[in-house]
Structure 1
Amino acid sequence: MTDALQPLEDRLGHKFKTRGHLVRALTHASAVAEDHLTPSESYQRLEFLGDRVLALVIADMLIDAFPNAEEGELARRLTGLVRNESCAEVAVEIGLGNWIRLGGGEVQSGGRRKAAILGDVCEAVIGALFVDGGLPVAQRFIEDNWRKRMLNWTGPLRDAKTTLQEWVQGRGLSTPKYEIVERSGPDHAPHFVVEVRVEGMMSVTGTGRSKREAEQKAASAVLLAEGVWRQETHAD
């Protein structure tokens, strides 16, 4: 596989000193199980690292690009730019799906086109770039692929929970109540399902890799359903 990775390295703008980092970033858990590899040979740990590197670099870019923005606006822009969907879009643009190592079942189910997998692998590749070449290498890749998104981002500048709370208070309703209804997955990659209940409305659930993300998704769903937010300007 390593010989076939040169075209991908060209797209990433970095020739890996240790190609094993890139191979691991491309290896899905289904391939680990099928090829009898160890769990550490999947992309999960690099995904964890890449997620943090992406947030750091984007935060620095935002500080520079929006010198008059308050913390809340910067946080909202950051959330919109580092979400899994944005990472998946970048993965599609660079053709990352062609190089993902998947198990046979995942290949048959269209794993190379699944946004969740594409987004995770994109974060893992950022982690691999950081490990192999340091922050400047990862930073260059992120700036090349996120700067235009940052400047053109049109999502709401207030987070979903705050917007929902202000909206229900304006209608004289009680404060929304959030409750975790499910938590699954390993400790290093948990999955949360959170339910939000708003007075006089049906309860709605949201999912995420943290309690906060799931709460925001649930609040977003209410705002979209009630027409407070529009889908085309909504960013989780």
Structure 2
Amino acid sequence: MLTENDISRLEQIIGYKFNDKALIIEALTHSSYVNEHKINKKHDYERLEFLGDAILEMISSEYLFKTFPEKKEGEMSKIRAALVCEPALYHDSLQIDLKNFIQFGKGEEATGGRNKESIIADVMEAVIGALYLDGGFDESKKFIDKYVLSNAESYQMYNDNKSTLQELVQSLKLGAVRYETCGESGPEHDKMFKVRVFVADKNMGEGTGRTKKSAEQQAAYQAVLTLNKKK
């Protein structure tokens, strides 16, 4: 359960004090908590997530339009998708320790909800929505600029690196690409996977993630960086 101290600590981290505390509490409340406590008059974060998603798309679009004057619409769309995808927003959320402020029901907590990238990413958008309603456009933009767009240079990490790697390997005629799971750790509901990627049987990169797909994308990203240095 969220306490006043929890709210104050989060406000201190993000540098904004909410006038309406109910907004930030709603943004940090999962549906499992509402259902478990039968709080009929309280909402979970999903409505604020809907609002925050729209604001995030608008602000990130403006940023990309101004930052990359040479890029076409299709290229900017790909970059925006990489910037606001679940893994990227989850990574951004680590800067403010967001997952440790979310209210979960006991069932969702027990099955690893606190570490699900999809949930944490949704809550990031809900916080943006809460900031917009409480402090206006400027406050939501400050948050996005600081915690999302500040990582814009690393957007390639969340792009479709497996496709990029495949195209690069084919253009350089290096041989086949192969992924190999080389490690698993953690309980069933909160596993971490480690994957290596091989190009023509040469280890070109490693990645870790909460899914094999995520780990493969990270490994592919490392391989792309390595191959681009050799070009």
Is the 2:59–2:141 Cα contact (8 Å) retained in structure 1? Answer: yes
Structure 1 residue 53: Cα displacement: 0.7
Structure 1 residue 2: Cα displacement: 4.8
Q: Distance in 1 between matches of 2:64 and 2:116?
A: 29
Aligned to 1:231: 220
Please tell me the root mean square deviation across aligned C-alpha atoms, in Å.
2.8
Aligned to 1:141: 143
Q: Distance in 1 between matches of 2:92 and 2:135?
A: 20
Is the 1:76–1:158 Cα contact (8 Å) retained in structure 2? Answer: no
User: How big is each residue's C-alpha offset from its partner over 1:170-219, in whole Å with a ceiling of 9 and x where there is no partner?
Assistant: xxxxxxxxxxxxxxxxxxxxxxxxxxxxxxxxxxxxxxxxxxxxxxxxxx
Is the 1:26–1:125 Cα contact (8 Å) retained in structure 2? Answer: yes
Is the 1:50–1:126 Cα contact (8 Å) retained in structure 2? Answer: yes
Q: Distance in 2 between matches of 1:10 and 1:144?
A: 14
Aligned to 1:167: none
Is the 1:73–1:158 Cα contact (8 Å) retained in structure 2? Answer: no
User: How big is each residue's C-alpha offset from its partner over 1:127-177, in whole Å with a ceiling of 9 and x where there is no partner?
Assistant: 10111111100000000012332123226989999xx9xxxxxxxxxxxxx
Aligned to 1:205: none
Q: Distance in 2 between matches of 1:76 and 1:66?
A: 13
Q: Distance in 2 between matches of 1:60 and 1:152?
A: 18
| Number of aligned residue pairs | 171
Aligned to 1:102: 104
Counterparts of 1:122-137 in structure 2 under 5 Å? 122-137=124-139
Aligned to 2:174: none
Is the 1:154–1:233 Cα contact (8 Å) retained in structure 2? Answer: no
Query: Cα distance 1:156–1:86, how it changes in 2: closer, same or farther (>3 A)?
Result: closer
3-state SS of 2:148 partner: helix
Structure 1 residue 40: Cα displacement: 5.7
Q: Distance in 2 between matches of 1:33 and 1:76?
A: 37
1:10 paired residue among 9, 12, 21: 12
Query: Cα distance 1:158–1:71, how it changes in 2: closer, same or farther (>3 A)?
Result: farther
TM-score normalised by structure 2 residue count:
0.66
Aligned to 1:67: 69
Q: Distance in 2 between matches of 1:104 and 1:60?
A: 40
Structure 1 residue 105: Cα displacement: 1.0
3-state SS of 1:98 partner: helix
Q: Distance in 1 between matches of 2:24 and 2:158?
A: 35
Q: Distance in 2 between matches of 1:69 and 1:48?
A: 28
Q: Distance in 2 between matches of 1:51 and 1:39?
A: 24
2:79 paired residue among 77, 80, 95: 77
1:93 paired residue among 85, 92, 95: 95
Structure 1 residue 93: Cα displacement: 2.2
Q: Distance in 2 between matches of 1:31 and 1:77?
A: 35
Gap regions ≥5 residues in structure 1: 165-220
2:154 paired residue among 152, 165, 178: 152
Structure 1 residue 101: Cα displacement: 0.5
Query: Cα distance 1:13–1:51, how it changes in 2: closer, same or farther (>3 A)?
Result: same
Gap regions ≥5 residues in structure 2: 167-212, 224-231
Q: Distance in 1 between matches of 2:13 and 2:64?
A: 25
1:116 aligns with 2:118: yes
Aligned to 2:198: none
Amino acid at match of 1:35: H
Identical amino acids, percent of aligned pairs:
33
